[in-house]
Chains A and B, each alone.
Chain A
Amino acid sequence: GAVVSQHPSRVICKSGTSVKIECRSLDFQATTMFWYRQFPKQSLMLMATSNEGSKATYEQGVEKDKFLINHASLTLSTLTVTSAHPEDSSFYICSALPRVADTDTQYFGPGTRLTVL
């Protein structure tokens, strides 16, 4: 159990376009989802915390107008990279915290690799 999926797994887009990445909890409900960014050969950096039905909380230095997060349901959160530029190319990973959990563990998605040309 506790499977998190991301779609798409890989996306290539032109500079200036917007890209939407979906994060779904497949077999559980998640009131909180997290979005991380990972640069090559580096660690994961938290971008924002997404709570169902409310506005996301962004980490310092992350532009909320650039990275739009919507958590419309207990099983889906989306990250939209608006007006993407080459420096936005990265590996984006989401995680989900089960609404009812017997262990306090976030479950991670497989990641989405974004390449902006």
Chain B
Amino acid sequence: GEDVEQSLFLSVREGDSSVINCTYTDSSSTYLYWYKQEPGAGLQLLTYIFSNMDMKQDQRLTVLLNKKDKHLSLRIADTQTGDSAIYFCAETYSSASKIIFGSGTRLSIRP
């Protein structure tokens, strides 16, 4: 069945790059998303990538997709304290389909 997996925690030093990894099982996934959730808040769409793309960059965010290995990563350059949050990887076959979320990776920033 459909499954999305992430590591639960990541701790990085302020100013360093953060790399959050995700694996998924559904090879028919068309859209792959990264969402950010701050404490007590809803989801903020950070970025998304189509399955026919390998990489997408948006300011400090870089998404890499290895479709063969079903591996998705999110790199945050120059990580700041405001980046502390839970990051969810998610995938879907189409926008009208349900989104399957990973367990979320809690990113903490140390000085």
Residues in A lying within 8 Å of B, measured CB to CB: 6, 32, 34, 42-46, 49, 59, 93, 95, 97, 101, 103-111, 113
Contact = CB atoms under 8 A, between A and B. Distances in A.
Interface residues of B, number: 21
Contacts of B44: 108
Interface centre among A42, A104, A107 (most CB of B within 10 A): A104
Contacts of A110: 41-42
Interface string B30-45: 1101010000111111
B104 A49 contact: no
Contact of B45 (A44, A49, A105): A105
Contacts of A106: 95, 99
A97 B95 CA distance: 7
A50 to B, nearest CB: 12
B24 interface: no
Contacts of A113: 40
B21 interface: no
